[in-house]
Amino acid sequence: MKFSYTLLKQFLPKLKNKESVIDALSMYSFEAEEAEGNTIEISLPPNRYSDAVSHVGVARELAASFKLKLDKRGIKDLPYGAPNTKPKKGTKLFTVTVKDKKVCPRYSAQYFENIKIGPSPKWMQDVLNECGLRPINNVVDIMNYVMLETGQPLHAFDYDKLVKKGKAKLIVRYASPNESLVSIDGIKYELTQDMLVIADGEKPLVIAGIKGGTGCEVTEHTKRIIVESANFDFVSILKTSRKLGLLTDASQRFSHNLSTALVEIGLNRAEDALVKIVKAKAGERSDSQIKLPSKRLVKFSVESCNKLIGISLTEKQASTYLQELGFKNLKKNLWEVPKTRNDIETEEDVTEEIVRMYGYANVRPMAPKALLLPPETNDAVMLRELLRNKLVGLGFNEVYNHSFISNDDIIESQLWRENAISLANPTSAEFEYLRPTLMPSLLKNVEANSRYFEKVRLFEIGNTFLNVDGVARETSKLGLVMSEKGSGTFFELKGVVMSVLKGAGLSDFYMKEVHSKDNPLFIGGYLELKSGNIKIGYLGVSRERVSVAEIDLTALLPLVQGEHEFKPLQKYPTVMRDISMFVPIDVRIGELIKTIQEENTKLISDVDLVDEYIDDKWADIQSVTLRVMFEAKDRTLTSEEVDGEMKKIASVLEKEFGAKLR
Amino acid sequence: MDIETIREKAKNDIRDANDAQACEVVRVRYLGRKDGELTNILKSLKDMSLEEKRKFGVGANELKIELNELIENKLKELSTKKERHLDVTKPGKKVALGHLHPLTHIDKQIRDIFSSINFTIVDGPELEDEYHNFDALNIPADHPARDMWDTFWIKQKTKEDGNKHIGKFLMRTHTSPMQIRYMETHKPPFQILVPGRTFRYEATDASHEINFYQVEGLMVGPDVTLANFKFVIETFFKKFFGKELEFRYRPSYFPFVEPGVELDIRLPGGKWLEVMGAGMVHRNVFDAVKYERREVQGFAFGMGLDRLAMIKYGIPDIRLFYSGDARFTEQF
**How far is it, in rounded angstroms, from Cα A13 to Cα A72?**
11
Same domain for A433 and A307, yes or no, is no
CB–CB of A538/A528 below 8 Å? yes
Which residue of chain A comes nearest to B162, CA vs CA?
A471
Which residue of chain A comes nearest to B54, CA vs CA?
A662
pLDDT at A44 over 80: yes
| DSSP result, A444-462 | HHHHHHTTT-SEEEEEEEE
Q: Is A258 domain-assigned?
A: yes
Among A277-291, A391-405, B83-97, B252-266, which stretch is predicted with the lowest mean pLDDT? B83-97
Whether B179 is catalytic = no
Closest CA to A56 of A338, A317, A322: A338
pLDDT value at position B160? 54
Which of these is catalytic: B257, B278, B285, B296?
Answer: B257
Residue A23: which residues within 8 A CB-CB, separation 6 or more? Answer: none
Q: Outline where chain B has alpha helix (H).
A: 3-16, 20-31, 37-44, 50-81, 102-116, 130-133, 177-185, 226-241, 283-288, 305-313, 326-329
Question: Vertex A562, ends A560 and A567: CA angle to 5°?
Answer: 105
Strands (E), A244-352: 281-287, 297-299, 328-331, 334-336
pLDDT value at position A600? 87
Burial A478-507 (b: 16+ CB within 10 A, else e): bbbbbbbeeeebbebbbebbeebbebbebe
**DSSP β-ladder status, B190-199 and B120-121:** parallel
pLDDT value at position A75? 46
- Put simply, the chain A residues between 30 and 89 with a CB less than 8 A from any chain B CB are 30-31, 45-48
pLDDT value at position A79? 53
**How far is it, in rounded angstroms, from Cα B237 to Cα B214?**
15
pTM of the model: 0.84
Among A140-144, A308-312, B149-153, which stretch is predicted with the lowest mean pLDDT? B149-153
CB–CB of B111/B195 below 8 Å? yes
Give the three-class secondary structure for B15: helix
Contact across the interface for B145 and A396, Cβ inside 8 Å? no
CB–CB of A439/A480 below 8 Å? no
Range of the domain at A308: 297-361
**For the range B179-184, what are the long-range contacts, defined as Cβ-Cβ under 8 Å and sequence gap of 24 or more?**
B179/B137, B179/B216, B179/B218, B179/B256, B179/B281, B179/B285, B179/B300, B180/B132, B180/B136, B180/B137, B180/B285, B180/B288, B180/B289, B181/B124, B181/B132, B182/B122, B182/B218, B183/B218, B183/B220, B183/B285, B183/B286, B183/B289, B183/B291, B184/B289
Same domain for A256 and A169, yes or no, is yes
Same domain for A311 and A444, yes or no, is no
What percent of chain A clears pLDDT 90, i.e. is strictly above it? Answer: 69
Residue that is last in its domain, among A50, A66, A82: A66
Question: What CATH number is given to the structural domain containing A456?
Answer: 3.30.930.10
Q: What is the mean pLDDT of residues A283-311?
A: 90
pLDDT value at position A215? 84
pLDDT value at position B27? 86
Is the CB of A434 inside 8 Å of chain B's CB atoms?
Answer: yes
How close is the nearest chain A Cα to the Cα of B307, in Å?
16
Which of these is catalytic: B224, B232, B300, B309?
Answer: B300
Residue that is last in its domain, among A559, A585, A608: A559
**How far is it, in rounded angstroms, from Cα A152 to Cα A265?**
8
Among A89-98, A121-130, A349-358, which stretch is predicted with the lowest mean pLDDT? A89-98
CB–CB of A216/A203 below 8 Å? no
Q: Is A85 domain-assigned?
A: no
pLDDT at A83 over 60: no
Contact across the interface for A375 and B126, Cβ inside 8 Å? no
Same domain for A105 and A249, yes or no, is yes
Same domain for A498 and A383, yes or no, is yes
Q: Cα A645 to chain center, whole Å?
A: 66
E strand or H helix at B190, and its extent? strand B190-199
Question: What CATH number is given to the structural domain containing A110?
Answer: 3.50.40.10
Residue A509: which residues within 8 A CB-CB, separation 6 or more? Answer: A501, A529, A530, A531, A536, A559
Q: pLDDT band for A567, please (50, 70, 90 cuts).
A: confident
**How far is it, in rounded angstroms, from Cα A271 to Cα A276?**
8
Residue that is last in its domain, among A48, A66, A84: A66
- Put simply, the chain A residues between 303 and 332 with a CB less than 8 A from any chain B CB are 307-311
Same domain for A303 and A283, yes or no, is no
Q: What is the mean pLDDT of residues A199-215?
A: 91
Among A110-124, A357-371, A413-427, which stretch is predicted with the lowest mean pLDDT? A413-427
Same domain for A126 and A234, yes or no, is yes
Q: Is A422 domain-assigned?
A: yes
Give residue limits of the domains in chain B.
3-81, 102-329
pLDDT value at position A201? 84
pLDDT at A77 over 50: no
Whether B28 is catalytic = no
Same domain for A313 and A266, yes or no, is no
CB–CB of A630/A603 below 8 Å? yes
Closest CA to A403 of B262, B97, B322: B322
Same domain for A249 and A384, yes or no, is no
Strands (E), A62-105: 94-98
- Sheet of strand B257-266, all strands in order from the earlier edge strand to the far edge: B120-121, B190-199, B211-221, B297-304, B272-281, B257-266, B246-252
CB–CB of B195/B122 below 8 Å? no
Q: How many domains does chain A have?
A: 5
pLDDT value at position B258? 95
On the 0-12 / 13-18 / 19+ scale of CB atoms within 10 A, A605 is middle
Is the CB of A532 inside 8 Å of chain B's CB atoms?
Answer: no
**How far is it, in rounded angstroms, from Cα B293 to Cα B283?**
6
Domain B102-329 has CATH 3.30.200.20: no
pLDDT value at position A78? 54
Residues from chain A contacting residue B259 (CB–CB below 8 Å): 309, 348, 351-352, 355-356
Burial B227-239 (b: 16+ CB within 10 A, else e): bbbbbbbeebbeb
Question: What CATH number is given to the structural domain containing A624?
Answer: 3.30.70.380
Q: Is A565 domain-assigned?
A: no
Which residue of chain B comes nearest to A24, CA vs CA?
B250
How close is the nearest chain B Cα to the Cα of A581, in Å?
10
| DSSP result, A366-399 | --------PPPP-HHHHHHHHHHHHHHHTTPEE-
CB atoms within 10 A of CB A359: 12
Which of these is catalytic: B200, B283, B293, B319?
Answer: B200
CB–CB of A12/A62 below 8 Å? yes
Residues from chain B contacting residue A472 (CB–CB below 8 Å): 127, 154, 156, 158, 160, 169
Handedness of CA A404, A405, A407, A411 (dihedral sign): negative
Same domain for A498 and A603, yes or no, is no
Q: Say which of A28, A444, A463 has its CB closest to residue B324.
A: A444
Burial A21-30 (b: 16+ CB within 10 A, else e): bbebbbbbbb
Same domain for A501 and A589, yes or no, is no
Same domain for A439 and A545, yes or no, is yes
Q: pLDDT band for A76, please (50, 70, 90 cuts).
A: very low
Backbone angles phi, psi at A523, to 5 degrees: -85, 125
- Put simply, the chain A residues between 540 and 579 with a CB less than 8 A from any chain B CB are none
